[in-house]
């Protein structure tokens, strides 16, 4: 019973908090912004295109490398626990897993992840 009461209390507090925030926001920005107010601030300048665009995420090769090594370690710890019991089958499985991951690392190598810039 106390659990239900405390959950209801937390919910009520959350609703109250959000309600106060919404009310404060509404009083601050009464009315929607006009079209000239929606322009990006460029010091009087005007954009020629919409800002919704694709750009190059330049850290993606680093992410690839991180994921490759991290996944390897994540799988290796539980594998090391069962390796003695499972024997050769576990070794073959880990070999396949590492082969797949190393393709990613080789791809990264080709893309120049390991070149220091």
Partner 1 sequence: MSWISRLAARAPVPVFIAQGESAPDALARLALNPAIHVVDSPRAACILLISGRIPSALADCLNRLHDQLPHPRATVLWQSHAMEPFSNAVEVDASDDIANALSATFADLLAGDRPSEADILPDAPPNEWRGIGPHGQGGKGMMGGTPYGRPMAKTDDDIRDGLSLDAYTADFGPFLPMFPAGLALTLTLQGDMIQAVTVAHPPFEGDTAARERLLRLLGLSALALRSLHGQKGDGTFRRLVRLSRARAAIPADLGRLPDGSDVRSRFDAMVTGLQTAPASDTDMTLGDLLVGLEWHEALLVINSLDNATLRGVCARMDAPPDSTNDATHADHDMHAEHMG
- Name the residues that contact partner 1, by CB under 8 A: 34-56, 58
Choose between 40 and 78: whose C-beta lies nearer to partner 1: 40
Contact 78, 93 (CB under 8 A): no
Choose between 36 and 78: whose C-beta lies nearer to partner 1: 36
**HEC per residue, 52-114:** CCCCCCCCHHHHHHHHHHHHHHHHHHHHHHHHHHHCHHHHHHHHHHHHHHHHHHHHHHHHCCC
Choose between 35 and 84: whose C-beta lies nearer to partner 1: 35
CB of 105 to partner 1, least distance (A): 21
CB of 56 to partner 1, least distance (A): 6
CB of 90 to partner 1, least distance (A): 42
């Amino acid at each position: 019973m106390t659990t239900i009461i405390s959950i209801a209390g937390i919910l009520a507090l959350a609703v109250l908090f959000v309600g106060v925030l919404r009310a404060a926001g509404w009083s601050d920005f009464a009315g929607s912004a006009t079209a000239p107010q929606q322009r990006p601030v460029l010091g009087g300048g005007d954009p020629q295109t919409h800002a919704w665009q694709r750009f190059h995420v330049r850290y993606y090769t680093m992410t690839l490398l991180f994921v490759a090594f991290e996944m390897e370690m994540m799988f290796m710890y539980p594998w090391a626990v069962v390796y003695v019991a499972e024997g050769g089958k576990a070794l073959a499985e880990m070999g396949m897993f590492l082969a797949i991951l190393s393709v990613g690392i080789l791809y990264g190598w080709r893309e120049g992840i390991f070149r220091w810039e």
